[in-house]
Structure 1
Amino acid sequence: MKISWIIIFLISVEVGWLYNRMIGLKKRAEGAWSDVDVQLKRRHDLIPSLVTCVQGYMQHERGTLTEVTLARQSAQGVHRVEEKGVSEQNLTQNLKSLILLSERYPELKANTTFLSLQEKLTDTENLIQNARRYYNAVVRDYNTLMGQFPHLIIAKIFHFQPLEFFELEEASEANAQKVNLL
């Protein structure tokens, strides 16, 4: 009788430990996503200033400015990780187009406000990439743990779900590194 109580106790301790480990990783992933979201919001907040700054110089490029503004609004309205990746990719492409168009306007390139905004945008893009990499690493660890015995049993019992990676196209990562926004 005493041995059965010891076995029940040990199993309970093991289940509790496994459950807490999975909860801990899930909370780390939530915290990491929060960091990504903060950086995305920071980028979203820079866009109105950037659009306002270039409007006076790029009067013939209204379509591009409108596309950037609409892409920002679309990205702000999305909450699921997978959808956020698609909308942020669209925003990145529109920002890239805006920056490339600015090359045609020497007065704009000399504007200190524009240069400052470009620098802030470049810094923010780097912070987004770092936060995204950390988030995806934590998600990978969590999802891997969910597939390993005995964690997969605990995951099924307590209805843990796999988390989604925050993916951007490889091209956008290359552009973020190659296109010097300064």
Structure 2
Amino acid sequence: MSKTLKSVFIVLGIILILAIPVVSGYNKMVALDQVVTSAEGDIETELQRRNDLIPNFVNTVKGYATHEKEIFTEVADARAKLGGATNVEERANADAELSSSLSRLLVVVENYPELKANQNFRDLSVELEGTENRIKIKRQEYNEAVKNYNTTIRRFPNSIIAGIFGFEQKDYYKAAEGAKEVPKVDFTK
């Protein structure tokens, strides 16, 4: 075998040895990116489910609590913000606002025992509660996927590959500012 042919095989061998980790790292990042995207879609699906249940829930409550217009407007406005959210941060803020409005609506419901006895109201309450639980789980799954993705693209040598191919960190699904505060409900109005 000639020296030139040996040199070509050595160069090809070196390129192959270097290319395997790059391809493997790239493929792992693509897969993790898809997991994050899928988890974000799962949150959107559950938020849409809740958004679809809310009008029926509000209409049921309206039948009993017709003079509580402010809270109904608040819920409708929060739903509109959630529907118009375009990224994870906006969606998280709108979600927190809607959850807060729903909490205030549930406080109003406490003043109407006949409403709580209504079968339609009870069924909708159970569906909403189940949806809220699914949303919580989907948020946790999303944040776990983001953690795995962000950790992978920041580790060496993946950080080099991520930089070359434009993989950027993803945002976590965080509670909105003020979400830890207890909503104030005033029945004196």
**Is structure 2 residue 44 aligned with structure 1 residue 44?**
no
The answer for the alignment partner of 1:58 in structure 2 is: 65
Cα deviation, 1:66-122, whole Å, max 9, x if unaligned, reads: 110111111111020011111100000000000111000011111111111110000
The answer for the alignment partner of 2:111 in structure 1 is: 104
Unaligned runs of 5+ in 2: 1-6, 183-189
Deviation at 1:170, TM superposition (A): 9.8
**TM-score in terms of structure 1 length:** 0.92
Deviation at 1:145, TM superposition (A): 1.0
**Is structure 2 residue 129 aligned with structure 1 residue 132?**
no
Contact map agreement 1:22 1:142 (CA 8 A) in 2: yes
Contact map agreement 1:82 1:167 (CA 8 A) in 2: yes
The answer for the alignment partner of 1:157 in structure 2 is: 164
Aligned-residue RMSD, C-alpha: 1.7
Deviation at 1:173, TM superposition (A): 8.4
Contact map agreement 1:39 1:128 (CA 8 A) in 2: yes
Map 1:1-182; keep pairs closer than 5 Å.
1=7, 2-168=9-175
Deviation at 1:168, TM superposition (A): 1.9
How far apart, CA to CA, are the structure 1 residues paired with 2:110 and 2:58?
15
How far apart, CA to CA, are the structure 1 residues paired with 2:162 and 2:168?
7
**TM-score in terms of structure 2 length:** 0.88
Unaligned runs of 5+ in 1: 176-182
How far apart, CA to CA, are the structure 2 residues paired with 1:131 and 1:172?
18
Contact map agreement 1:92 1:172 (CA 8 A) in 2: no
How far apart, CA to CA, are the structure 2 residues paired with 1:31 and 1:171?
28
Q: Secondary structure at the match of 1:167?
A: coil
Count residues with an aligned counterpart. Answer: 175
Deviation at 1:174, TM superposition (A): 10
Deviation at 1:60, TM superposition (A): 1.3
Deviation at 1:44, TM superposition (A): 0.3
**Which structure has the greater CA radius of gyration?**
2
